[in-house]
Amino acid sequence: MPIHYKHPPAQSLADLKKELGRTGKEMADLCWLAGDQHWRKYTNPREPRPMSAQMLFTMMAQLELDEATLERIYARMRQAGAEFRPAQDGEQQP
C-alpha cells in the first residue's frame, strides 16, 4: 500500500517521550536505534532529523502490539531471510 507520509515534528516526538515517561534510551530502543544520542537527533528543535515512516511504524508497533503478535512478525522476518536478535545493554549494533 503506497502512502503519502509527512514525518512528525520534533516537538511531537519529544511530547510522546514525556507522555510515555520513557528515557531517551528507552525511546531509542523502541525505534531500534543504537542509543539515546540517535533519538535526540529526531527531537532536536534546531535541526531535527526526519523520522522515516518505517521507524515510526516500528516504534508504534512495539507500543501497541502484544508480545505474541510481535513474535509472529519477527518469525516472518526471519522466514524472509532476516537475521536479528535483541542487542544486550551496552552492546554496539553493527
User: Cell 516500528, residue?
Assistant: 58
The secondary structure of residue 27, as a DSSP letter, is H
Residue span of the structural domain in which 44 resides: 10-79
Answer yes or no: is pLDDT of 90 > 70. no
Cα separation, 15 vs 31, whole angstroms: 16
The answer to whether residue 86 is domain-embedded is no
pLDDT of 23-52, one tens digit each?
999 999 999 998 899 999 999 999 999 999
The answer to whether residue 92 is domain-embedded is no
Cβ 31 vs Cβ 79: under 8 Å: no
* Residue 42 cell numbers, joined: 529526531
The answer to whether residue 67 is domain-embedded is yes
Domain count, the chain: 1
Task: Tell me the pTM.
Answer: 0.84
The answer to whether residue 91 is domain-embedded is no
Cβ 31 vs Cβ 39: under 8 Å: yes
User: What confidence score (pLDDT) does residue 85 get?
Assistant: 81
The secondary structure of residue 14, as a DSSP letter, is H
